Amino acid sequence: MKTVKVLLAGIGAAILFSVGPNTAVQAQTGLISVDLRNVANDIAKDINVDVNQIPPTVQAPVSVATLVCGIAADVLGAQAASGTGSCMARGTSSALDQIVLDQIKRMTKM
């Protein structure tokens, strides 16, 4: 009985690994250039900095760009894969606020 369980587990693992990664997960990789001009005032208020410190664009993961730009992850994922990913932010999120804050901190250290 133990041999049958081991054999079935091995077959199951072989099938699982032969299928490959999920395409939805593949679409979530890469960075998107997010234009912040429409939301710069909101982000400045959220992170308590002067609006002049907000960069015009930031590089954000597909998952964040999908949320703030309102574009499907598979569309942005395809753009990111081709190296042309960009979108205009229509809103903000705590993740985007953190990306902007991190970039401001890096720029002030230079």
Looking at the predicted structure, is the pLDDT value of residue 106 above 70?
yes
The structure tokens 């730009």 sit at 69
Determine which helix (DSSP H) or strand (DSSP E) holds 78, and give its type and residue range.
helix 73-82
Is-contact 64 46, C-beta < 8 A? Answer: no
pLDDT in tens, 53-99: 999 999 999 999 999 999 999 999 999 999 889 999 999 999 999 99
Looking at the predicted structure, is the pLDDT value of residue 51 above 70?
yes
Higher pLDDT, 26 or 61: 61
Question: Mean pLDDT for the chain?
Answer: 81
Q: Model-level pTM greater than 0.75?
A: no
